[in-house]
Chains A and B, each alone.
Chain A
Amino acid sequence: MSNRSRESGLSRRGFLKGAGVTAAGAAIAEAGFASFAQAQQTSQNVNIISGTTTITLQVNGAAKTVQVEPRTTLAEALRVNLDMTGTKIVCDRGACGGCTVHIDGQPVDSCMTLAIDVVGRQIKTIEGLAQGDVLHPVQAQFIEHDAMQCGFCTSGMVMSSAALLEHNKNPSLEEIKHACSGNLCRCGTYPHVFAAVQAAAKQM
């Protein structure tokens, strides 16, 4: 089925370009509806997928082909199929943020995301945050401030913090807490996390 799914992945990319803009305001909305009308005309048949299927995911800028079932979550596709185990499964219900990845730049819970649902979207995981050997400022400051103990929440905590600093270069303590409020740490590293994010903000 892979061809069809790739196609739908491609068409989705087109859709997403539009979606990225529409959030900006009402004027664009009509353009959105126009594409809606267009889509209505073009989709005569809906592709129905069952069983094991091959999809291509855009992970950290690289195309990765994996065999999954529709029920395979993104977290498991990353961890099991791609052996990218930096993303953790902790609560497995979207309550703890241990599985946080960025989809098109937004932090989401990969345990509640179906892998098949993110074909064609840009997925960034903890493994893709550093630029080669150069750590992201959040990563570097997590080390410097010891913002980890057992480290099992760390990937998710780093991903949420990095997403915050993408659109807020100078967050207040309250904003940092808010951004990390979906990431559970059982060891209690939060005070060091806050300090690390504040320090990283200065480097962004």
Chain B
Amino acid sequence: MNAFEWADACSIQDVFAVNVKGSAIKAGGVDLVDLMKEGIANPARVINIRNIAGLNQINMDAGVAKIGPLATLSALAEHAGLKQTYTALAQAAAAAATPQIRNMATVGGNLLQRPRCWYFRNDQFACARKGGDLCYAQRGENQYHAIFQNGLCAIVHPSAAATPLVAMNATIELTGPKGKREMPLEEFFVMPNVNLHAENKLEPDEILTEIRIPALQAGTRSHYVKQAEMESHDWPIAEAVAVLQMDDKICKKASIVLGAAAPTPRRATEVETAITGKEITAELARSAAKAALRRATPMTQNRYKLAMFEAVISRAIMRAAAI
């Protein structure tokens, strides 16, 4: 780790006051400390926002969920209201990382963390995302990499929380010195062809200040499925979230998002189209899942992820539909 200055912010205004060029914002610190230890991030100054009061709230008044970015993954996983209403979010938080990390990591940090690609995380590889010429995954060890939109840079988005939040049409509030802006989380994340060096639209002088999930319509249920190589600490190889508004066995409305599939959380519109207005059956779920994978562009070593995603998507649908 390089030596750095430490600035303890007690308010959002504090952050703006000290956020000079070369600063890094630290919430739970898990991702930043990891990047610094690997020599990937070498900030001159670390601005600690973890102690800014009020930013760790989870508020579910009036049907809308408002989640402070400093709420920990543990807090999300254990929150009774989230578990009941926004089930897939609580499930995703509970399945991420380890108990210790979930106690440290914040949901904001989870959304903003850098990719876990082993080429990106290793300072020996000057990969395209770090400003080099090459995406090493293209012809290298790509068994865990993206199966969609992977031609420039084959990272998968690392956030467990992002997959359900996008599926639930969450918006985020970003605050900068000049004020606040709000945008759908889905639009916040960017593909490598838009920006090869960042995973989202956060400006250097902004911080994430709130996550809002709109009220879900009556009869809406959600489910999160994670498939990894092991159940103890492991990153997903395939993730799917299904948010379904059900009328008995008929799906009135569907939102299906895939994680660990593409450089951003990937909305599976083919699945949504295929199951909306239909009675959910195992066969339908399976054929819809297949449809979602038609445009996949698997790499040299990750074709197996297609079969895995087929299972993960159809299981998420079946479980959300409670069939």
Say yes or no: B2 contacts A47, CB within 8 Å: no
Task: Please report the C-alpha to C-alpha distance between residue A184 and residue B234 in the assembled complex, in whole angstroms.
Answer: 12
User: Which chain A residues border B12 with CB–CB below 8 Å?
Assistant: 40
Which chain B residue lies CB-closest to A100? B100
> What are 12 A-B contacts with C-beta separation under 8 Å?
A15-B51, A19-B56, A26-B58, A29-B57, A32-B53, A50-B6, A92-B37, A97-B100, A107-B100, A182-B97, A182-B232, A182-B233
Task: Please report the C-alpha to C-alpha distance between residue A94 and residue B46 in the assembled complex, in whole angstroms.
Answer: 20
> Does B13 reach chain A (CB closer than 8 Å)?
yes
Q: A71-B36, A112-B34 are in contact. List 7 more A-B contacts (CB 8 A).
A: A23-B75, A32-B54, A39-B53, A70-B4, A94-B104, A182-B99, A182-B101
> Does B14 reach chain A (CB closer than 8 Å)?
yes
Task: Please report the C-alpha to C-alpha distance between residue A133 and residue B273 in the assembled complex, in whole angstroms.
Answer: 66
User: Which chain B residues border A23 with CB–CB below 8 Å?
Assistant: 75
With beta carbons under 8 angstroms apart, the residue of B13, B61, B104 that contacts A43 is B13
User: Which chain A residues border B104 with CB–CB below 8 Å?
Assistant: 94, 108-109, 112-113
Say yes or no: B3 contacts A33, CB within 8 Å: no
Residues of A within 8 A of B (CB): 8, 11-12, 15, 18-19, 22-23, 26, 29, 32-33, 35-36, 38-40, 42-43, 46-51, 69-71, 73, 92-95, 97, 100, 103, 106-109, 112-114, 116-117, 160, 178-179, 181-184
Query: Given A35-B54, A181-B231, A48–B100 Cβ distance below 8 Å?
Result: no
Task: Please report the C-alpha to C-alpha distance between residue A23 and residue B33 in the assembled complex, in whole angstroms.
Answer: 26
With beta carbons under 8 angstroms apart, the residue of B26, B46, B53 that contacts A35 is B53
B240 → A minimal CB distance (Å): 22
> Does B195 reach chain A (CB closer than 8 Å)?
no
A43 → B minimal CB distance (Å): 4
Which chain B residue lies CB-closest to A42? B10
- How many residues in B have their beta carbons less than 8 Å from beta carbons of A? 50
Which chain A residue lies CB-closest to B230? A181
With beta carbons under 8 angstroms apart, the residue of B13, B18, B33, B51 that contacts A48 is B18
Say yes or no: B3 contacts A71, CB within 8 Å: yes
B81 → A minimal CB distance (Å): 8
Say yes or no: A26 contacts B61, CB within 8 Å: yes
Task: Please report the C-alpha to C-alpha distance between residue A182 and residue B17 in the assembled complex, in whole angstroms.
Answer: 38
Say yes or no: A94 contacts B6, CB within 8 Å: no
Once A and B bind, how many residue pairs between them come within 8 Å at the CB atom?
Answer: 145
Say yes or no: A93 contacts B53, CB within 8 Å: no
User: Which chain B residues border A97 with CB–CB below 8 Å?
Assistant: 98, 100
Task: Please report the C-alpha to C-alpha distance between residue A194 and residue B314 in the assembled complex, in whole angstroms.
Answer: 34
User: Which chain A residues border B231 with CB–CB below 8 Å?
Assistant: 181
Q: Chain B, 38-52, contact with A by CB distance < 8 Å: what is the 0/1 string?
A: 000000011010111
User: Which chain B residues border A50 with CB–CB below 8 Å?
Assistant: 3-6
Say yes or no: A181 contacts B233, CB within 8 Å: yes
Which chain A residue lies CB-closest to B44? A50
Q: Which of B49-77 contact A (CB under 8 A)?
A: 50-61, 74-75
User: Which chain B residues border A108 with CB–CB below 8 Å?
Assistant: 100, 103-104
Say yes or no: B7 contacts A95, CB within 8 Å: no
Q: Chain B, 149-172, contact with A by CB distance < 8 Å: what is the 0/1 string?
A: 000000000000000000000000
User: Which chain A residues border B60 with CB–CB below 8 Å?
Assistant: 26
User: Which chain B residues border A22 with CB–CB below 8 Å?
Assistant: 56-57
Please give me the 6 A-B residue pairs with the lowest Cβ-Cβ distance, nearest first: A182-B98, A36-B54, A70-B6, A43-B10, A40-B11, A181-B232
Task: Please report the C-alpha to C-alpha distance between residue A36 and residue B209 in the assembled complex, in whole angstroms.
Answer: 12
Determine which residue in A36, A46, A95 has the highest number of CB atoms from chain B within 10 A of its CB, and name it: A46
User: Which chain B residues border A109 with CB–CB below 8 Å?
Assistant: 98, 100-101, 104
